[in-house]
Structure 1
Amino acid sequence: MERVIRRTILAKAAAARRYARETQQKLAYKRMKRAQYDAMLREHNRFVAKIRSELVEDVKMGPLAPVRGKDAKDRIARDLPSADAMRLPEVVEPRKFFNVAVGDRVVILNGKDRNKVGLVKEVDPDTDSVKVQGLNVYPVRTPEYFEGLDGGESPGMDQECSISYTDVRLVHPIEDPKTGVLRDAIVKKVRISNVRKDAQGKRTWTRWVAFSQTEIPWPKKTEPEYEDQQCDTKRMDAEERTYVPTLLKPPIPDGVIDELRGKFSKFRDRHDREYIEKKMREDEEEKARKKARVVTPLMDINRKIRREKIEKGKTQKLTSNILEQLGRTMAQSATPFMKERPNRVKILEEIERQEGAGFGFRPALGQLPARNLEGPPTTSQAAPPS
């Protein structure tokens, strides 16, 4: 019993050490990702400050200003990060209860917009971050397909960047116990209760201000309002019937079917010219490799044997000699598929009578060996055809 107890204690200690080691690795990974993001953000801020100082210097120097790029557009966008680069890294373990939703009012605790209150525009549980409308804005590089839209030529645009969940706090009006007036208060800690799941497995809960009976309601979801634009397709045009199927042509053209199939599907009838040329080059290279390959006498003999086997395995036509040989073999041996055992004497007499009448039968197996027709049949080896 003491041995069992000791083994249990050792197993618990090993499990605790393993859990502590995994926890330390996860924390180190989070710190490393966060440090990388902070370093990138600091570099970006230094770059923006440098660009601003260069612009101020160019204004002061006027025509004597140095040429810092091909044009102003190139100078502004040479090192601007993209929107994906400004996204926070994904967390190892997502937060169990994400108590901030779109439409909540929050205050920012760190960064250039510290102590400012704004409306949550977007939440991202994967990166444990939120975006606040109009706050934490940084210039990012505009995608190429955005350039020139709405008459703008600037390669950069201001965009709200992600803020870590730990750097924001909910703001909720709470009644002042002295005056009884509602005032905005920063919720340092949120208490949850009434956790439940619906039929689809979606989890919901109720938010409360910690150490109080003040409930924090979830923001109401408003339906988006859509306005008709000049580029929108009218309903009457969308419902108009412009295609009538007939039996003279398929309902879907062959080119469309090829596009719906995989690009390299074996069922495609047409391929791109580049793909066809690539396959032809591969075939030519394979032929060249086969020609340049050294053929030994043993390889030549094996090829000859394989060719003979292929030729021998091909189906042959049933000639009269083959049919005659099959008939004689069936007559000489009892067929188990027949209900009654055939009389071999009568069959042989019938074959000899037909040969004497000249019905085209020729003895392809030579003369039958002498045997006692009254006794049981004996096995004999047939002579090869002459």
Structure 2
Amino acid sequence: MENLETIDFKINHFKEIYLSYEEYKRKSYAPTILLDFDDMLTLAHDILEREPGILNFYQKQYRYILTDESQDTSLIQHKIIEKIAKPQCNLFVVGDEDQAIYGFRGAAPQYLLEFKKTYPNAKIIAMTENFRSSEDIVKITNQFIKTNKKRYEKDMFTHNAKNKPIQISKFKTEQEQWDYLVQQLARTDDLSSVAIIYRNNASAIGLINKLDKHGIPFYLRDFKNRFFAHWVVEDVLNYLRFSYNDKNIAVLEKIHIKLNPFISKNDLELLKRADADVSSFVNLAKIHGDASKKAQGFLRLQRYFNQLNKLSPHQAIRFIREKLKYEESAERICNNLGYSFDNVKGILATLEYIAVGLETHQEFAFRLKELEKLMGDSKYNQDSNAVTLTTMHSAKGLELKGYT
């Protein structure tokens, strides 16, 4: 807690949020104190630090210790293990710094690179034979991983024969990439021997839309309903809803902070007492004085939402992004809260892609629901002739039929 001032979290008011959270845990259920997972680790470490009798008990209790997937272990977990393992240091650690992919969760693979500093007598054994992959894959991955300089020097090898050379294709747009994949899959008889690997599930929505339109079955390994519940998706749907009825204050409450001119909470309260049969924008103009600059801005929004209602789904999303300046508002929110604006732009681009060829806003909303259901139901395709879709995280250790 004393280091808060020295860390740049890229989130406005982070210190206040953190301190409020800690106070909530201490006081909200007093005298009971709430603990999260981080607390469990830090408290365990502090107890072992302060209480030599307890530490001695666990050192005797666990004379031999084994940790697996140690590249995914956090620094505090490493420190707890270190305390219990000493002084005998009967510690067997299995890990591979080349497989460290959980830094965003607090994993500290650098601890493995400094292992001999902590345990000077440790013996490091490199298991370099690959039993799964063909020579083609092992050779190129050896070259690729060496671009990472923070690793132990080692060369993987395999006694497996060559299979097929790895092909690399470059595309200017995601749509070109999806078209290529669909063409390749259309020529493939055994789809169950094919996997498509991507960064996150949001990256796959456009591809899934394409696969479904071409009748290509898929199995999604780690479906999570995050894309369709994302605030950006909800915002776009609420903009469309509000274009049908700009008297609906319940919908306006969900998007008001993204509109320009800005609509305050006080404005919303005044709207609730205004004429319910009149456009919210007309009522807002009256509240702020019809001749004022802000009032003219509200009347401009009324015209824009009337235009929005008449556009095709694809045109409507572009109109929301640009004419209604949603993208500017989203960027401001991302900067304030530390969200990824690139991720927001990616979601908006995906929504535009899904909307292509659809005629009504209702069709667009239905298509999103349809895609969500398709993704959820894909689990039933696991044992059928379907292409496997997976994130890089979920693909770790994955073995596919007929694939090396």
Higher strand proportion (structure 1 or 2):
1
Larger radius of gyration: 1
TM range (shorter): under 0.3
Normalised TM-score (structure 1): 0.17
Normalised TM-score (structure 2): 0.16
Higher helix proportion (structure 1 or 2):
2
